[in-house]
Amino acid sequence: MLENFIGQWGYWAVFLGFLIEGESVILTAGFLSAQGCLSLPRIMLISCLGTLLADQALFFVGYGCGARLLKELLRLQAPADRAFRFLRQYNTIYILSFRFIY
């Protein structure tokens, strides 16, 4: 029963999992691939597409709505100002190190 479920919904689960949380999903999908339940090349393609879509969607939400949301949530304005000062000061090195820190 579980094998049928994985065979039918496994790749969708990998894609949706990468929209939310990537590391635990790739470990699980890699294990299922080693067991012969899923194809490793398909997992790699789907995981790249899922994480790319999630990253871009969140970027555009923040870019398009971020300033307005901060104005509506006044309690977040002071911490956001500190974060923006930090980002302006350490710009590229912070972004690159945060993105690839693990």
Whether residue 50 contacts residue 18, with contact meaning beta carbons closer than 8 Å, is answered with yes
What ranges do the domains of the chain cover?
A: 2-99
Note the pTM of the prediction, 2 decimals. 0.64
pLDDT at residue number 102: 61
Q: What is the C-alpha end-to-end distance of the chain, expressed in Å?
A: 36
The 10s digit of each residue's pLDDT in 17-51 is 888 877 888 888 899 899 888 899 999 999 889 88
Average pLDDT value over all residues in the chain: 84
CA 56 to chain centre: 9
Report d(CA 27, CA 18) in Å as an integer: 11
Mean predicted confidence (pLDDT) in 65-72: 79
- Contact 5/11 with Cβ under 8 angstroms? no
Q: Note the pLDDT of residue 41.
A: 94
Q: Which two three-digit tokens encode residue 34?
A: 């080693």
